[in-house]
Structure 1
Amino acid sequence: MTRTYAVVLAAGQGTRMKSKLYKVLHPVCGTPMVEHVVRNISELGADKIVTVVGHGAEKVQEQLGSESEYVMQEEQLGTAHAVQQAASLIEGLPGITLVVCGDTPLIRHETMQQLIEHHQDEKAKATILTAMAENPSGYGRIIRDAEDNVSKIVEQKDASPKERLVKEINTGTYCFDNEALFKALKQVSNDNAQGEYYLPDVIEILQKQGETVAAYATDDFSETLGVNDRVALAEAERIMRGRIAEKHMRNGVSIVDPASVYISSETEIGRDTVIQPNVIIEGTSKIGDDCEIGPSSHIKNSQIGDRTTVHSSVVTSSTIGSDTAVGPYAHIRPDSQLGDSVKIGNFVEVKKSALGQGSKVSHLSYIGDTEIGTNVNIGCGTITVNYDGKEKHVTQIGDDSFIGCNSNLIAPVSIGKGSYVAAGSTISKDVPEDALAIARARQENKEGYVQKLNLKK
């Protein structure tokens, strides 16, 4: 079986991005561009992936980790020079080498596979991935002979008027016989205006040697988009968002308005879940079956069970059980755990807290650093006072407790199982099980007081 290698070109800084972040690390649908490329290559089952790094090398390696091996291009002297840096790892090995730019996140692994298969079928030493462009301006053109073989790649500036009419363009992705590639790389010259070593020169060298050079045309031009600036980044994001939405819809998810929804490439969504307009789902979120994610909700790195509703709310790095309702206008902050059949109502904020099955916080409350048992009712306006100005403290509320409206629970404090806290109380001592806690000033009415005030005016 033919061995397959891949070289990912990721050494450029990307000055046109005008960013402190290195170009290939800019995210598309939540995942850095270079990681999209490497993951797609990994799906091919490549025997070895070599990423050529330069600017931001440490950051790129930190992002990709063990998904790739790495070589350094100290000076950016062109694409052929970049591939040459991989010689220490793969030169002389029999097999096929795929060369892909790290700023082309939209190339599918299926297209890469088709490119490799075409390369093998044609018994070629080099195969170019091409595409048909409605407006090919700025791209290198693929010039074919009468037998439909590739005769040359001509750059826009060097093309004749007739050649400029050609719509088949070079995408910058190639498949090579690995041994032939590295032999030809040693013959590439930098005798050009930029003084750089260009990978397309390998094509000309192989042709002059009488070797077969083939081309495989993808039928989706958008796959070939290279991201060099923020405009192209936004376009890549738009295309990727559409792909992700389509994947989920074909898997049984209803997305009311796909154009308005953002779903990360790593999100999982169960069948018969409905995603309403203007929803953002980021990171490694997982949403169960039969859920409804209501308008303008924002979910990040969170797990949501089956049949749960999140309406116009924010959920971050938390776990929500099944048959639970959140919102509208709730904020579930990191490290929160909501059990099954929990209700979190409007204008409720939950931070680093756990709520047991069937518990409810229905309105206008702050629950922070709190452990709430099962079937607990938290009245409107309740606050767990968790911060003393220096440290955070925990509030514990036992099963089947009832916390009346406008209560302040000053942590650290424990509310016993089955107990009641009277509305308007400020609780600073532990409450035993099955007790009623009342902590508020006695009401006193001063009759005629307003009339006396008026007489003083």
Structure 2
Amino acid sequence: MKPLSVIILAAGSGTRMKSECPKVLHPICGRPMIGYALDLAASAGAKHPIVILGEAADQIAPHLPKDVKVVIQSKPLGTANAVLLAKRAAGSLSGDVLVLYADTPLLRRTTVQRLIESHNRANATCTLLTTHLADPAGYGRILREATGEVVGIAEEADATTSQRAIREINVGPICVKAQLLFEALATVHPSQAKKELYLTQAVNRLAKQPGTKFQVVRLEMAAEGLGVNSQQDLAKATAVVRQRILEGHLTNGVTIVDPQMTYIDHGVYIGHDTVIHPGTVIESGVSVGRRCAIGPFARLRRGVVLGDEVRVGNFVELVRTKVSTRVRINHVTYLGDTTVEEDVNIGAGTITANYDGTNKLPTTIGRGAFIGCDTVLVAPVKVGSGAVTGAGSVVPKGHDVAPRSVVVGVPAHLLERAKPAAKKQPVRKNPSRQKPVTRRPMNTARRIVKRAVRKAPKARRATHTARRRR
């Protein structure tokens, strides 16, 4: 297999973004835009990709992995000049060169693999990635002969009216034989429009050389070729990446009630049979166990790890917090830098006051603890296993709550030690031990009255009968 060197072009100024943040550092679903290009380089097998940076190098370089070789393009002289700088920095590049762009974050790994495989299979001099757009404004156009053979690329700034009508565009990434590329780059002259050296000029020179062979790989979906040059483009790219992330979780057995109202960043793990309700935001690096329920309107920030069967309800925010199995955090709660053990119930309105103005401090809640509504835990503090805090309690820092104790008040003070729940004894029925039922004797006066009432009608009936006989 031929050696493959990867060059990532990231020196663009990004003036159309109208932002102080370098274009390639703008986040897309929780990671800098350039991170997606680095993923593509890794999928191509590049161990030490070369990244070309411009005037914002001091801001971008700290975000790059250590195995990346950074080359500075001090003057914006174009993409051809950037590739030449990469060659000089590397000393020598043999085999093939894969050129990627840091502002094209939607390319899939499978697409780059197809590009490389097609290039190797055809033993091509240069392989281009193209697509067709209804509105190709801003992109270089693919020039072909009547036979369909590629003869060059026309940058929009230098294209003629007829060339601008072409809808097949150059997406950007190319795979090309290194030696022939650098020979062509040495003969490139600045363009008339921008006075820059374009990589496409070297491609055009290669296309005119006899014996060269060009190959084209078309994108399966045109959206993959979107170049991010404005905030509008960034919003479109973010929407596409977010949809891909959600589809991945759905495929893995996660229930997402309303995908349009759910925001999950890159690099999140969610176990199967977990339900994500609308309005939920889950940031990069979060891990959620199986059979959990998240939301609605919950926010899980970086450093959160949830065990299995955890309930995180509405308006709950967690950050740098580890939650064990069968924990309930149902309403309006903030936990930061907290460790929550198994079978804990966190009441509505609970807050960990984890910031003292300088440092973030830890809180630990033991197994089976019951945290009452509106409890404030001032870190650093520990709540023991089986302990209970009364509603509205404020537990000061350093005043740990002992296991199985009950604390209440502001500041929280010991009320009692929680007693283990008594086991109910089954009731045994034994006829021999049952007490005989005794009836209370009726009052004598009541008996006399009762008899009198009963005999009165008989006496009246007797008198009436005697009168009739007379």
Is TM > 0.5 for Structure 1 vs Structure 2?
A: yes
Return 5+ residue gaps in structure 1 as ranges.
387-393, 421-457
Matches within 5 A, 1:27-426: 27-90=27-90, 92-156=92-156, 159=159, 163-210=163-210, 211-301=212-302, 302-312=304-314, 313-333=316-336, 335-350=337-352, 351=354, 352-369=362-379, 370-386=381-397, 394-404=398-408, 406-409=409-412, 418=417
Letter paired with 1:330:
T
Of residues 56-65 and 91-100 in structure 1, the stretch that sits farther from structure 2 once superposed is 91-100
Q: Supply the distance in 1 between the matched residues of 2:222 and 2:399 (Cα, whole angstroms).
A: 58
Contact 1:397 1:416 in 2 (8 A): no
Letter paired with 2:327:
T
Describe the superposition over 1:207-233 as per-residue Cα deviations: whole angstroms up to 9, x where unpaired. Answer: 121211222111111111111111111
Q: Supply the distance in 1 between the matched residues of 2:43 and 2:31 (Cα, whole angstroms).
A: 16
Corresponding residue for residue 24 of structure 1 = 24
Q: Supply the distance in 1 between the matched residues of 2:130 and 2:46 (Cα, whole angstroms).
A: 22
Q: 1:407 to 1:206 in 2, by over 3 A?
A: same
Identity among equivalent positions (%) equals: 33
Letter paired with 1:355:
I
If each structure's helix is expressed as a fraction of its own residues, which one has the higher value?
Answer: 2
Return 5+ residue gaps in structure 2 as ranges.
355-361, 420-470
Q: 1:116 to 1:417 in 2, by over 3 A?
A: farther
Q: 1:20 to 1:345 in 2, by over 3 A?
A: same
**Shift in Å, 1:90:** 4.0
Letter paired with 1:311:
G
Letter paired with 2:228:
V
TM-score, structure 2 length as denominator? 0.83
Contact 2:382 2:400 in 1 (8 A): yes
Letter paired with 1:332:
L
Letter paired with 1:308:
V
Q: Supply the distance in 1 between the matched residues of 2:16 and 2:274 (Cα, whole angstroms).
A: 40
Describe the superposition over 1:422-455 as per-residue Cα deviations: whole angstroms up to 9, x where unpaired. Answer: xxxxxxxxxxxxxxxxxxxxxxxxxxxxxxxxxx
What CA RMSD, in Å, does the superposition of the two structures yield over aligned residues?
1.9
**Shift in Å, 1:79:** 0.7
**Shift in Å, 1:31:** 0.3
Contact 1:269 1:289 in 2 (8 A): yes
Contact 1:341 1:359 in 2 (8 A): yes
Letter paired with 2:140:
G
Describe the superposition over 1:291-310 as per-residue Cα deviations: whole angstroms up to 9, x where unpaired. Answer: 11111111011111111011
Q: 1:44 to 1:276 in 2, by over 3 A?
A: same
Contact 1:7 1:49 in 2 (8 A): yes
Q: Supply the distance in 2 between the matched residues of 1:54 and 1:292 (Cα, whole angstroms).
A: 46
Describe the superposition over 1:40-60 as per-residue Cα deviations: whole angstroms up to 9, x where unpaired. Answer: 211221243000012221222
Q: Supply the distance in 1 between the matched residues of 2:144 and 2:108 (Cα, whole angstroms).
A: 25
What is the number of equivalent residue pairs in this alignment? 407
- In our comparison, the structure showing a higher alpha carbon Rg is 2
Q: Supply the distance in 1 between the matched residues of 2:232 and 2:185 (Cα, whole angstroms).
A: 33
Secondary structure of 2:36's counterpart equals: helix
**Shift in Å, 1:162:** 5.1
Q: Supply the distance in 1 between the matched residues of 2:290 and 2:191 (Cα, whole angstroms).
A: 61
Q: 1:224 to 1:67 in 2, by over 3 A?
A: farther
Contact 2:365 2:382 in 1 (8 A): yes
Q: 1:156 to 1:86 in 2, by over 3 A?
A: closer
Q: Supply the distance in 1 between the matched residues of 2:123 and 2:91 (Cα, whole angstroms).
A: 20
**Shift in Å, 1:123:** 1.6
Q: Supply the distance in 2 between the matched residues of 1:206 and 1:220 (Cα, whole angstroms).
A: 28
Q: Supply the distance in 2 between the matched residues of 1:13 and 1:135 (Cα, whole angstroms).
A: 24
Contact 1:398 1:416 in 2 (8 A): no
**Shift in Å, 1:18:** 1.6
Describe the superposition over 1:6-51 as per-residue Cα deviations: whole angstroms up to 9, x where unpaired. Answer: 1111112211112221111111001000111102211221243000
Contact 2:6 2:99 in 1 (8 A): yes
Letter paired with 2:38:
V
Describe the superposition over 1:150-178 as per-residue Cα deviations: whole angstroms up to 9, x where unpaired. Answer: 12222345555654443221111111111
Q: Supply the distance in 1 between the matched residues of 2:288 and 2:402 (Cα, whole angstroms).
A: 29
TM-score, structure 1 length as denominator? 0.85
**Shift in Å, 1:373:** 1.3
Describe the superposition over 1:109-162 as per-residue Cα deviations: whole angstroms up to 9, x where unpaired. Answer: 211111111111222121111112122233222132344321222234555565
Secondary structure of 1:397's counterpart equals: coil
Describe the superposition over 1:248-284 as per-residue Cα deviations: whole angstroms up to 9, x where unpaired. Answer: 1111111111111111101111111111111111121
Q: Supply the distance in 1 between the matched residues of 2:147 and 2:46 (Cα, whole angstroms).
A: 32
Describe the superposition over 1:169-196 as per-residue Cα deviations: whole angstroms up to 9, x where unpaired. Answer: 1111111111211111111111412111
Of residues 87-96 and 298-307 in structure 1, the stretch that sits farther from structure 2 once superposed is 87-96
**Shift in Å, 1:99:** 0.8
Q: 1:417 to 1:336 in 2, by over 3 A?
A: farther
Secondary structure of 1:88's counterpart equals: helix
Secondary structure of 1:204's counterpart equals: helix
Contact 1:379 1:403 in 2 (8 A): yes
Q: 1:21 to 1:138 in 2, by over 3 A?
A: closer
Describe the superposition over 1:58-86 as per-residue Cα deviations: whole angstroms up to 9, x where unpaired. Answer: 22221013141111101011111111110
**Shift in Å, 1:416:** 11
